[in-house]
Chains A and B, each alone.
Chain A
Amino acid sequence: MLFVPGNNPGMMSDAHIYGSDALMFDLEDSVTLREKDAARLLVYHALKTIHYGDCERVVRVNPLSTPFGKADIEAMVAAGAQVIRLPKTETAQDILDMEAEIERAEKQFGIPIGQTRMMAAIEGALGVVNAYAIATASPRLVAIALGAEDYCANLKTSRSLEGSELLYARGAIVVAARAARIDCIDTVFSDVNNEDQLIKETQAIKQLGFDGKSVINPRQIKPVHRVFTPTQKEIAKANRILAASREAEARGSGVVALDGKMIDRPVVIRAERTLELAYASRAVFEEDEV
């Protein structure tokens, strides 16, 4: 998910060309107080006019506790944003309050109720504690994400390269997301020039179970995609596992065997997910299958 500051018209006009899966237009932290009104109008007009291709259109609004939040939601729902991201989510009530505003706006502007989805960013200790409650608070919620900068400040610690201070939050968010059957997205890596460290961190959070990562510069998109893209070896193995599974099913047997070893159900599910990722990242093309 590529962050696009909401007050930069130059970047907004073609942010979709870099191939990220989603674009997050930001009305919150990257916009100064004086420019909140202008940014809201810029993103509104951009969403209504510019065709962003296959990128999912996410907007990070200001919290309802600020003077800007309500107008942000109205404008973004009217503009057709696909997902509204709520920063600094602490409780399930935060989600419910936002959902009520979104529904009001959908009614007002003739948008089908429920069409606008939500994403919750957890950026503090309370949010981590309430992660599952937040993740299940609304059927509109499609993902929860971690915002590391504010979280670390909240914890009264600082950010480090190896990220031990984020371990619990990351674990909690992945667990909550899985339990609620929604996606989880990791925080941004701000050192744009350090690609090696970006790759290391992305590998680590992929291993933790995250579905994706936010990026702040188009240059970071390809390395992140590469980490999440299965290798040819992994794809070949997944294909074999699925073939064995199909074959067992055809035999009417519940036991799947490959290379003389029994394959448990979780392994088959993981293989399916590997192939899903493979197609999604264009490592494999359906029309190439023999």
Chain B
Amino acid sequence: MTQDQAFYTALNALNKAAYVPGENPRLYDKDPVPLKNRMARENKIVESLEKAVELSGLQNGMTISFHHHFRDGDHIVNLVMDTLARMGFRDLRLAPSSLSDVHAPLIQHIKNGVISHIETSGCRGALAKAVSQGLMDDPMVFRSHGGRAAAIEEDEIHIDVAFLGASSCDPFGNANGYSREGEEKSMCGSLGYARVDAQYADSVIVLTDNIVGYPNVPFGISQRLVDYIVCVDDVGDASKIMTGATRFSTNPHDLMIAEMTSNVIVHSGYFYEGFSLQTGSGGASLAVTRFLREAMIEKNIHASFALGGITGAMVKLLEEGLVSRLLDVQSFDLDAAQSLKNNRFHQQIDANYYANPYRRGAAVNQLDVVVLSALEVDTSFNVNVLTGSDGVIRGAVGGHPDTAAGASLAIVVCPLMRGRMPCVRDHVNTIVTPGNTVDVLVTDQGIAVNPRRPEVAERLEKAHLKVTPIEELARRAERITGKPDPLPFGDKVVGICTYRDGSVLDLIRNLT
């Protein structure tokens, strides 16, 4: 209708405001400038990391987060922490998805009071050793991947600022763990853990060494979640982020365990057309794929999907048509990253989709079989993947408890002994995955089945796969190695190992 007096009277009565061009400061004026000029003039790229930090509103005592998709080649955590230290921040709470050997410089920041608290999935190297010796006042809190994602979603961890490295990013923040133009300097594949941080953090800063043209789609992280972009020289060291296809182990123990595990799977009752699978990324648990593939070809059985932690071995199965889909929360090698980039049936998923403990639909709950490695297993089937036999923190919880709880059949593989250290024993140093979720243990000297799963034991026995009580395996190990003396733990709690819902599984004490 004509916008005369009657129009405005009616609007008044309806209590609505009229459109006035240029009046609403929130709206942007029409811009006749071509896209390439527009992009150069207005985007989210900030001139420096310091500037981005200022804009984010970071204060002392706040929580900041990082992802660990660049693994031991990561430069982001150290770069950001050095900058924040220089800027004078203190008492920061770190919530990285995990930490690695390369993050040793954090020791100094902890000593100087820049960092007061760390929540992570894992910790290694000099930093882990220092923490084990009592470096921090606040114990380090360990969570599983699913546990961390849920804690973030439920605001138990409130991320104020997320610093997320990306292999490529366009000027508006569409980010990926690979690149489709420019120099592909630091490919990492899936950004599954980073996606959760991007979704829930108050402020999201993407750091990249490769600005590409808009729109960088398909995207790993949507621009809608990104506030600021900072260009850095190198997000990471490509040679340490990932290498070519992960090689199968040639260690005869690993191969023996892998072959036995494959046989267990075939006869477990969970090997049928359309079954689903997840394996570990190295050693015996990866080599299982090699043997299982032969069985799949021989018996003409295909998997509906494989989940992980995806490696080139799984990609091969996808490309051969033995597996229909891959769900990828973290890519482990270049083959996996390339496949994620190029194959639309290789889907990037975030950590909540992967393993949120409170969602029936989480991917881990759709697993038939998961094969997990272990540092130690005790006679109650509790598993330790976090602290070494010397009691020092040296690993990560990862998706271990998530997949064990979610899969119909959780198989843990481990040699009976490593050198003189018994790996099957009465008690593990740290419980990371509770025994009530672990179904089968395969060692190089025998298979044990959790008494909770008598039907599985029966199926294995019928297939002439000998099942040994786990206590007997522990005794056998002890007879060969001797009984180890207790470790010299002190009284200080340096680590809290939590279950998927945040409840405490175990405490890690300092080593004197």
Contacts and interface: CB of A to CB of B under 8 A. Distances in A.
Q: Please determine if A and B sit in direct contact within the complex, based on CB atoms under 8 angstroms apart.
A: yes
6 contacts: A14-B417, A17-B253, A17-B444, A17-B445, A18-B252, A18-B256
A50 interface: yes
A282 B464 CA distance: 9
Interface string A207-221: 000000000011100
Interface size class of A (residues with CB under 8 A): 10 to 19
Interface size class of B (residues with CB under 8 A): 10 to 19
Interface of A: 13-14, 17-18, 50, 217-219, 282, 285
Interface string B247-259: 0000011011000
A199 to B, nearest CB: 16
Contact of A219 (B252, B416, B417, B480): B252
A14 B464 contact: no
Interface in B108-155: none
Contacts of A282: 464
Chain A contact residues: helix, strand, loop or mixed: loop
B480 A218 contact: no
Contact of A13 (B252, B256, B480): B480
Interface centre among B252, B444, B480 (most CB of A within 10 A): B252
A18 B257 CA distance: 10
Q: Which 4 A-B pairs have the closest CB atoms?
A: A218-B252, A17-B444, A17-B445, A285-B464
A217 B480 CA distance: 23
B445 A14 contact: yes
Interface in B255-274: 255-256
Contacts of B444: 14, 17
Contacts of B256: 17-18, 218
A257 B255 CA distance: 47
Contacts of A285: 464
B461 to A, nearest CB: 11
A233 B480 CA distance: 43
Contacts of A17: 253, 256, 444-445
Interface in B180-238: none
Given A14-B445, A17-B445, A217 B252 contact: yes
Interface of B: 252-253, 255-256, 416-417, 444-445, 464, 480
Contacts of A219: 252, 255
A50 B480 CA distance: 7
Contacts of B480: 13, 50
A219 B253 CA distance: 10
Nearest to A222: B259
A53 to B, nearest CB: 9
Contacts of B464: 282, 285
A50 B445 CA distance: 14
A264 B167 CA distance: 76
A285 B464 CA distance: 9
A13 B421 CA distance: 13
B141 to A, nearest CB: 38
B421 to A, nearest CB: 13
A14 B255 CA distance: 14
A17 to B, nearest CB: 5
B238 to A, nearest CB: 30
A13 B419 CA distance: 9
Contacts of A50: 480
Contacts of A218: 252, 255-256
B25 to A, nearest CB: 72
Contacts of B255: 218-219
Interface centre among A17, A18, A219 (most CB of B within 10 A): A17
A282 B444 CA distance: 19
B359 to A, nearest CB: 42
A218 B480 CA distance: 21
A283 B155 CA distance: 58
Contacts of B417: 14
Contacts of A13: 480
A285 B444 CA distance: 23
Contacts of B445: 14, 17
B6 to A, nearest CB: 92
A18 B256 CA distance: 7
A218 B445 CA distance: 14
B284 to A, nearest CB: 13
A282 B445 CA distance: 18
Nearest to B250: A219
A94 to B, nearest CB: 35
Nearest to B446: A17
A281 to B, nearest CB: 12
A150 to B, nearest CB: 27
